[in-house]
Structure 1
Amino acid sequence: MVKSTAASPAVNLESDDDAVIMDTATNPSPALKVNSKSKFKKPKSVLGKNKKGKHHTSTVWNEFVKLPINEEGVSKATCQWCGKLFLADSHYGTTNLHRHLLKCLKRNEVKQDDEEEKESSMLQNKITQEKFREMIAEAIIKHNLPFSFVEYEGIRKVFSYLNSDVKHISRNTSKVDVLKLYKKEKDDVRNKLKSIPGRICLTSDLWTSVTSEGYICLTAHYVDENWKLKNIILNFCHMPPPHTGTLLSEKIYSFLEEWGIEKKIFSITLDNASNNDNCQDFIKQKLNARGLLLYDGIFFHVRCGAHILNLIVQEGLKVIDDSVIKIRETMKYLKGSESRMCRFDECAKIIGMKRTKGLRLDVCTRWNATYDMIDSAMRYQSVLNRLAEEDANFKHCPSRDEWNRVERITRFLKPFNDITTLFSGTDYPTANLYFQGVSQIELLLLEEMESQDSFISNMAEQMKVKFDKYWDCYSVVLACAIVLDPRYKLDYVDFIFKKIEPIEHIAEMKVESIETTLYKLFSEYEHPKSMATTNVSSGVGSSSHTSGAVDDPDDDEDKQDDEFDHYESGRGSKTKKSQLDLYLEEPRLNKKENSKLEVLSWWKEHYNRFPDLSLMARDLMSIPITTVASESSFSTGKKILTPYRSRLLPENVEATLCTKSWLYGFEDEDAEEIGQLEFQFASMNICSAESTNVE
């Protein structure tokens, strides 16, 4: 029996604390030890019945232990969680015991752990075989894993360890699951394309895999409902030779019909090749025959800016002189031996320099590799001069005059390198940002053609011939885009053309041509052909107003009123200023104050003022100037089709690559490789060998 050392105090039934008659310091029945990670098991109560011999019915006794009645005849109960004592006579009831359970910290901790364990168990039970297979398919796609990955012994052990009931699948099943996921995502992309508010621009390019099979990639570029520039790969399809313009056009047009977007096409950007010229001609004819292109497709064909730039500079590098050749031989000499590189580092240390950047050797397919080579040589000019003094075998170090010439070449090529970087970025900017760079290059060529350095002037002349050949028609797209940049408008185009063209009236004719093109294109948006996307005013004068009521004389007056309204609106249109008029008349934005202006955001904000013009600006800004977005897919393609995984069927390559781009995009780890591929693909020829590979 428990002996009490003091009289029992009065009990306040409304207070949990007052109900405690002794704390754990003097309590001979300490709290039970409870493992918070395990479920609580109720120990047997000393007294299972009340005074009348009846069993306790309240659930509170599942968590309290009733102690024997003490010498004073007082009944007590102890909390099984914390050990606190409470009065437990039947006339007190169990309210104070219930109240304590709600506040008991130890009980709440264990209950919370139990709930989390239960929730985790419920989640685990929800994992189905279907979900497991879907996750495996996603992993294969994301990490470029082979279909046989699911048959690896180690992987199967892991799966079995995590869930002994897992049903292992075969490589054929994993392939089926990947194709199933591809079809599901393809339907989602098709629905997304249908909901695009504006026009869609395209880029396309060809690629040869490690298996010598040709692939064609088609990418869509558009501005979404939030006025953000987006691009998405549509197809990465096997394209066997020959790659004639006719066959390419049939392939691309079949893609457009498959996706149901032929009515939304605005432009297509292709590399500069004769088969691509024929390809776009055929597609353009088909779309124009159905009346689907705006302004008869004046902006339909866009040549890849990066490819044109490569051709222009390569033309200039044909007249390269001995100084650059010496630098190339220097790089070959240093990179040919590890001991020579060590000696180079020793010379750098002697003169107090660190090799923070590597030495570059150029490749014939990328002109900017030549720029990188001579730029890196200029950075270590003093080190190379020191090495020439100490290494008798190093015989290709440029002389002082040759170093001066290399410096001029580097300075001459730098603007080309800068615009190449702009053209070739994977996160390409809107079309309005290119006009400045291209005009800067033309002005530079004109200036260097007058150079006293015969080598530089000869180089500039060769490049200017190529520039005029390709950029004459291309400048229309770039000029129209920058006119719709509120920081520049038509005044800037007029300013640049007058700087470039010495004969003033010719410059004025070019500006007028740009202005005329803009107004004709705007008329397509002001009075669109499709009634589904126009306002009511665009339907004035249509035949639907007169059909079905010609023989009713009571309608003659209404018809005459309609004709007068149409006549008056036609007269009014001659004097009423259009949205394009108002936009061009407004002052330009301050360029310094708006240097980071996002043009698409500006047009979104001013949509209510310029509803039709905003739509035209949106479509023009979405024109891709290069095919880099399509070429980016080749980096991923190289990881899917490797020398050790070359038997993958073309349809499986397309399913894997397209689904990966739709779900995950291009990962950062591909960025450097994509940069290296840009100009390699610009000058690449697709191998005509027939493929015999099967999976």
Structure 2
Amino acid sequence: MVTKAKCRFCHKSYVYRPGGATSQLNRHLARCTQFQNKLAKAKQQLAQGTLNYVADDGCLVVNPTEYDHEHTRKLIAKMIIVHEYSFRMVEHKWFNILVKWMNSKYECIGRKTIKNECMKVYESEKEQLKKSLREAESISLTTDLWTSNQNVQYICLVAHYIDSDWVLQCRVLNFIELDPPHTGLVIAHAVFECLVEWKIDDKVMSITLDNASNNDTATTNLSAKLLARKNGQFDPQYFHVRCAAHIVNLVVNDGLDQIEGLISDLRNTVKYFKRSPSRLYKFVEVCNDYAIKVGKCLSLDVKKRWNSTYKMLDTCIEYRSAFGYYAQVDQNYAWKPTESEWNIYEKIRPILGEMAGATTAFSGSVYPTANVFYPYILKVKIALLKAKNYKDPYLKKMTAAMLDKFDKYWEEKNNVMVIATILDPRFKMRYIQFYFSQLYDSSRCEQEVADIKKELEELYKKHELEQCRKMGGSSSSSTTQSTSSSKETTSSVACLVSSEFQSFLESSASESSKSELLIYLDEANHPLHDKNFNLLHYWKVNALRFPVVSSMAKKFLAVPASSVLFESTFSCGGRILDDYRSSLKPATVQALVCASSWIRGSKSPPIILGEDGDDGDIESVELPSSVVESN
């Protein structure tokens, strides 16, 4: 009996007879192409792995069918480094129970073994970072000192640079022990040794530090060392950048000293209400009785963060009269601010507001670019100049003192932030001209703008020569393009051209055509309201059109205006060297801190400037909602 059937792989019909079905079916499967492809794919998946997926940080993860203990040990080491866990964690009973349950072939690891693995990860990541730094065109530095709970002094050195893909990178290079005394010469020597070790002494653009006197000595000495290396790219006039956040804090403290009584009264007031919900209810009732709108909750500041103090003042001022009325119904409330203190605060409020915005911007741990900081500085300067014209002699004296301290640091001729702002297509030179006209009289404004234009042109020519050297000196640039007449002209053409016309050609040929810089500056500014604008992406796209100017942008836009990044680095050091791990050696601490920075890399999202990032440090005292709603 003949029977027909279909192959379940290719769905083709075939005929077989009883007794020969098995052999015919096997012969068909051997010839079936689809079956063979599926069989090969199944074998490949079985050999390579069973599951592939993309993790949250973008890394491709493969779960192998074969247990790889060496790779598992490496992943655990990275986990300990990034999350700042103790080495002893691998010996915890329930950690081993969990991992054993996930894979029965897992072999227990001791704390000494995992420490050695962490050091191997550190060395491996260091080699990768060295390759990345070699490709960087320019590197800007920040450095600061920190004291651990072991009473050991550490110096931290951080590199900032824009890579070939126009992504801003930030890496902790060294976190080493620094023996006293911490003089400027000792700091300069330690930083220079780090630069030589990483072989980046010929790529340094700038260094950002706070305003300690030993740092001034350190930058002078370090600048001399770098100049002695005969690095043609190094320019000492842009080398020393003062920490903007530190300067703003110095300036604002002069203003806050004058209203210390008001700050203390409001701090005690918020604490007084916080301790008793019944007082909060009574306070809201007083607001209702006197038709005072109840809106923002009260804020309690953090003494070490002055912008949190500004937020406390700004929320409390809405209840200025309410505090006075409340004092009449609560005899125990003894912190009513005086009217004169409120009046002083009202007048310096605009200044503190501008400084609070600047401090919030400077407090970001990851900066997208350096160009955004100069506009903040200009706004602070203009606010101080306006306050200086107050008729109140007390306020004039206070703002004059703040302005003197401001000018002490920012009147120095270091235009790093100015040039970075000009290299932002939203600002360009027009922004500088607009604000200089508000800061200076007409003659001073004209002179300042002319000086910056001259500096820009000199900087452009320097980068233009660098580009020529990189290209082997064969390419001619836009500013040096010239057309020379050939000496070997044919006699037939020579007889047609007069000598006067030939002289005209030679003179006009020496005239420079419009440079990249002028073309860039003459183009219309990019709209300021474009929220999706990405400055580094702009220069990535326009690098071919403006090769020289984009090279300038890559250097200046990587310069950090603040050294507050060290707060997060030192916090990391504090968590590593807690009370239970205080016996770690400095070399181990450096490996853990640096490797954590290298592994995290640029995967963390950048902080967006202009947003208030301090809410987590400010304690809010919520007003009773049930009473507020009845208002």
TMscore range, shorter length? 0.7 to 0.9
Matched, 1:662 2:602: no
Structure 2 counterpart of 1:421:
360
Q: Out of 78, 84, 89, which is 2:18 matched to?
A: 89
| Correspondent of 1:509 among 444, 447, 457 | 447
Q: Is the 8 Å Cα contact of residues 425 and 526 (structure 2) preserved in structure 1? A: no
Aligned to 2:312: 373
Give distance in 2, aligned partners of 1:429 and 1:327.
36
Aligned to 1:601: 537
Letter in 2 for 1:526: E
Matched, 1:138 2:78: yes
Is residue 2:88 matched to residue 1:148? yes
Deviations 1:501-527 (A, max 9, x none): 13x222222222212222222222111
With 346-355 and 177-186 compared, the bigger mean Cα shift is at: 346-355
- The answer to whether 1:466 aligns with 2:405 is yes
3-state DSSP class of the match of 2:208?
strand
1:527 & 1:417 partners in 2: Cα distance? 42
Pairing 1:483–2:387 present: no
CA contact (8 A) 1:304 1:626 kept: yes
Higher relative contact order (CA 8 A, sep 6+): 2
Q: Is residue 185 of structure 2 the alignment partner of residue 185 of structure 1?
A: no
Hey, what's the Cα distance between the residues in 2 that align with 1:231 and 1:573? Answer: 46
Q: Residue 601 of structure 1: CA displacement?
A: 2.6
Tell me whether 1:638 sits opposite 2:574 in the alignment. Answer: yes
Q: Measured at CA, do residues 593 and 394 of structure 1 come closer, stay the same or move farther in structure 2, by a change above 3 Å?
A: closer
Corresponding position of 1:318: 257
User: By how many angstroms is 1:632 displaced?
Assistant: 2.2
Q: Distance in 1 between matches of 2:607 and 2:417?
A: 26
AA of the residue aligned to 1:149: M
Cα offsets for 1:625-682 (capped at 9, x unmatched): 111233321121222111232222111111111111211259989999x967999xxx
Q: Name 2:114's counterpart in structure 1.
A: 174
* Cα distance change of structure 1 residues 92 and 532 upon mapping to structure 2, 3 Å threshold: closer
Task: Tell me, yes or no, if structure 1 residue 527 matches structure 2 residue 458.
Answer: no
| Matched residue type, 1:647 | S
| Compared CA separation, residues 242 and 375, structure 1 to 2 (3 A) | same
Distance in structure 2 (CA, Å) of the matches to 1:220 and 1:282? 19
Kindly name which structure, 1 or 2, has the bigger radius of gyration based on alpha carbons.
1
User: What is the number of residues matched between the two proteins?
Assistant: 562
Distance 1:677 1:594 in 2: 26
For structure 1, which segment, 574-583 or 507-516, has the greater mean C-alpha deviation from structure 2 after superposition?
574-583
> What aligned pairs does 1:106-145 form with structure 2 within 5 A after superposition?
126-145=66-85
Query: 1:285 is matched with which residue: 198, 210, 224?
Result: 224
Deviation at 1:141, TM superposition (A): 1.1
Distance 2:281 2:563 in 1: 40
Query: 1:115 Cα deviation (Å)?
Result: 11
Alpha-carbon distance between aligned partners in 1 of 2:423 and 2:436, rounded to the nearest angstrom: 17
Answer yes or no: is the 8 Å Cα contact 1:374–1:410 preserved in 2. no
Residues 1:391 and 1:601: Cα distance change in structure 2 (over 3 Å): same
CA distance in 2, matches of 1:438, 1:645: 42
- Residue 588 of structure 2 is aligned to residue 652 of structure 1: yes
The alignment's C-alpha RMSD in Å is 4.1
CA deviation map 1:59-94 (0-9, x unaligned):
xxxxxxxxxxxxxxxxxxxxxxxxxxx997226676
**2:248 counterpart (297, 304, 309):** 309
| Equivalence for 1:69 | none
1:209 is displaced (CA, Å) by 1.8
Who is 1:434 aligned against? 373
What SS class does the counterpart of residue 536 from structure 1 fall into? coil
Q: Take 1:116 and 1:142, find their aligned partners in 2: how far apart are those partners?
A: 32
The one-letter code sitting in structure 1 at the alignment partner of 2:446 is E
2:280 to 340, 344, 347: 344
Is the Cα–Cα contact under 8 Å of residues 216 and 239 in structure 1 kept in the other structure?
yes
Q: Contact 2:428 / 2:525 at 8 angstroms: preserved in 1? A: no
What is the SS of the residue equivalent to 1:575?
coil
Residue 137 of structure 2 is aligned to residue 208 of structure 1: no
Give me the identity figure in percent.
Answer: 32
In structure 2, the partner of 1:359 is 299
Cα deviation, 1:109-161, whole Å, max 9, x if unaligned, reads xxx99999996599665223322321221221122111122222333344444
Q: For 1:162-212, what per-residue CA distance to the aligned partner results, in whole angstroms no more than 9, with x for missing partners? A: 55554323222111111111001111111111122x211111111122222
For residue 604 of structure 1, report the CA deviation from its aligned partner. Answer: 2.6
Change (3 A) 1:315 1:381: closer
Q: Paired residue for 1:41?
A: none
Aligned to 1:612: 548
- Structure 2 equivalent of residue 195 of structure 1: 135
Query: In structure 1, what is the equivalent of residue 489 of structure 2?
Result: none
Task: Give the equivalent residue in structure 2 for 1:217.
Answer: 156
Residues 159, 538 of structure 1: alpha-carbon distance in 2 compared, 3 angstrom cutoff: same
Secondary structure in 2 matching 1:136: helix
One-letter amino acid of the structure 2 residue matched with residue 418 of structure 1 = G
Please report the TM-score for the alignment, with normalisation by the length of structure 2: 0.78
CA–CA distance in structure 1, aligned partners of residues 7 and 584 of structure 2: 76
2:173 aligned counterpart, secondary structure: strand
Report how far residue 291 of structure 1 moved. 2.2
* d(CA) in 2 for partners of 1:136, 1:258: 29
AA at the equivalent of 1:395: A
Residue by residue over 1:578-603, the C-alpha shift from the partner in whole angstroms, topping out at 9 and shown as x without a partner, is: 63553366233253465653333333
Q: Give, in angstroms, the shift of residue 285 of structure 1.
A: 0.5
8 Å contact from structure 1 (residues 359, 373) kept in 2: yes
Q: Closer, same or farther in 2 for the Cα pair 1:295/1:263, shift >3 Å?
A: closer
Name the CA distance, whole Å, in 2 between partners of 1:675 and 1:93.
Answer: 74
Deviation by residue 1:529-571 (Cα, 9 ceiling, x = unmatched): 99456543589xxxxxxxxxxxxxxxxxxxxxxxxxxxxxx99
Moved more, 587-596 or 215-224: 587-596
- Report how far residue 267 of structure 1 moved: 0.8
C-alpha spacing 1:116/1:520, structure 2 compared with 1 (3 Å)? closer
1:263 aligns with 2:202: yes
Cα distance in 1 for partners of 2:176, 2:188 equals 14
User: 1:355 Cα shift?
Assistant: 8.3
Cα distance change, pair 13–422 in 1 and its aligned pair in 2 (3 A): closer
Given that residues 202 and 233 in structure 2 are in contact (C-alpha distance below 8 angstroms), is that contact kept between their aligned partners in structure 1?
no
Q: Which of residues 231, 242, 258 in structure 1 aligns to 2:170?
A: 231
Contact 2:155 2:176 (C-alpha < 8 Å) held by counterparts: yes
Return the alpha-carbon distance in structure 2 between the equivalents of residues 237 and 223 of structure 1.
Answer: 25
- Structure 2 Cα separation of the partners of residues 537 and 666 of structure 1: 35
* Cα distance in 2, alignment partners of residues 573 and 470 from structure 1: 46
Give the whole-Å Cα distance in 2 for the aligned partners of 1:617 and 1:240. Answer: 38
Matched-pair contact (CA < 8 Å) for 2:162–2:169: yes
Q: Are the aligned partners of 1:306 and 1:420 in contact in 2 as well (CA < 8 Å)?
A: yes
User: TM-score when scaled to structure 1?
Assistant: 0.71
How far apart are the structure 2 equivalents of 1:129 and 1:295?
A: 48
- Residue 100 and residue 599 in structure 1: after superposition, are their counterparts in 2 closer, same or farther (change >3 A)? closer
Tell me the CA shift for residue 326 of structure 1.
2.6
- 1:362 and 1:286 map into 2 onto residues whose CA distance is 41
SS in 1 for 2:595: helix
Q: Which segment is superposed worse, 597-606 or 92-101?
A: 92-101
d(CA) in 2 for partners of 1:294, 1:664: 30
User: Structure 1's 475 and 346: CA in aligned 2 closer, same or farther, altered over 3 A?
Assistant: farther
